[in-house]
């Protein structure tokens, strides 16, 4: 889809512009995104080890990007989206995830070696939404079904992980779009895109901190099954929105073509008005 790994600066007004673009994608293929939401829901119900949260988050973003790219190119039916997803370079993506896993493992080993000096910092759970919920020991939290705890922890944790590691989100997008199939080049392009768009990165980072604060606030107030289920459902929706914003970031940073689905949605919306 793109011809260059050189990232471009994103124009001002990206927050509202990407919100509109995300809505256009959702309206362009509601059935495909409803199916994607269901897939994300089921994936997050499953137990996920905390130490693999970053590699798993990269895989989840790859799925969201694959659907967004298919709809972006004009595939609005579920079967067409499925065929487009099949053509995504999954093998290079898996190699990128392996490389990220090795990098995370090295960082964990380094952290263990320096735990004496970092103990005061690492003793707090405020650095990660997933860690906050994983280590929650309140009776109300423990009384919730395990699948619901996993759903909330994984959904919100993955969203916050990607918001705070934008370069990984961009690296996954570079592979999904086929700009490159080399993991180290994708990581380098992700870093460069962040450096070129520091204001956007700060926006994502601020959203990550706000989400962490909200989770810390809510974790002490989830006393009922209904409240926890509502937060979990909204958490999966937030994860999908983070993925769509990430897709818009990839598209604008690396100069991908405009969405074909946008024209179709605009025409579909205007026809009833003119009738």
CA contacts within 13 A on the Cβ side of 224: 3
Distance CA 108, CA 115 (A): 10
Distance CA 81, CA 27 (A): 14
pLDDT digits (tens, 9 = 90+) for 134-180: 666 677 878 889 999 889 889 998 999 899 999 999 999 999 988 88
- The tokens 């990206």 sit on which residue? 14
- Non-local CB neighbours of 68 within 8 Å, separated by 6+ positions: 25, 243, 244, 247
Distance CA 196, CA 57 (A): 24
Largest pairwise CA distance in the chain: 71
pLDDT, position 272: 44
Residue 201's Cα: distance from chain center in Å? 14
Residue 224's Cα: distance from chain center in Å? 28
Distance CA 41, CA 229 (A): 12
Q: How many residues make up the chain in this entry?
A: 275
Radius of gyration of the chain (CA): 19
pLDDT digits (tens, 9 = 90+) for 215-237: 888 877 777 899 889 999 999 99
More confident residue, 270 or 107: 107
pLDDT digits (tens, 9 = 90+) for 30-59: 999 999 999 999 999 988 887 788 888 999
CA dihedral 47, 49, 55, 60 (to 10 degrees): 20
pLDDT digits (tens, 9 = 90+) for 184-221: 899 999 999 999 999 999 999 999 999 988 888 887 77
Distance CA 216, CA 157 (A): 12
CA angle, residues 240, 245, 247, in degrees to nearest 5: 95
């Amino acid at each position: 889809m793109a011809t260059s790994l050189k990232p471009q600066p994103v124009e001002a007004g990206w927050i509202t512009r990407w919100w509109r673009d995300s809505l256009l994608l959702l309206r362009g293929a509601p059935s495909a995104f409803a199916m994607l939401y269901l897939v994300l829901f089921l994936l997050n119900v499953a137990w996920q080890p905390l130490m693999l949260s970053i590699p798993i988050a990269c895989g989840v973003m790859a799925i969201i990007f694959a659907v967004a790219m298919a709809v972006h190119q004009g595939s609005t039916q579920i079967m067409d989206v499925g065929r487009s997803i099949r053509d995504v370079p999954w093998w290079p993506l898996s190699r990128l995830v392996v490389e990220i896993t090795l990098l995370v493992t090295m960082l964990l080993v380094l952290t263990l070696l320096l735990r004496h000096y970092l103990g005061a910092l690492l003793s707090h759970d405020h650095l990660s939404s997933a860690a906050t919920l994983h280590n929650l020991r309140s009776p109300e939290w423990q009384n919730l079904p395990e699948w619901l705890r996993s759903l909330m922890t994984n959904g919100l944790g993955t969203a916050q992980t990607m918001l705070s590691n934008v370069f990984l989100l961009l690296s996954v997008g570079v592979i999904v779009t086929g700009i490159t199939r080399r993991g180290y080049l994708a990581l380098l392009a992700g870093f460069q895109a962040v450096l070129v768009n520091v204001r956007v990165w700060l926006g994502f980072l601020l959203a990550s901190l706000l989400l962490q604060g909200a989770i810390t606030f809510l974790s002490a107030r989830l006393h009922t099954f209904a409240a926890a289920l509502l937060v979990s459902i909204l958490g999966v929706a937030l994860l999908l929105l983070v993925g769509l914003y990430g897709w818009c970031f990839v598209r604008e940073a690396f100069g991908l073509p405009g969405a074909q689905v946008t024209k179709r949605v605009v025409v579909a919306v205007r026809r009833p008005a003119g009738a």
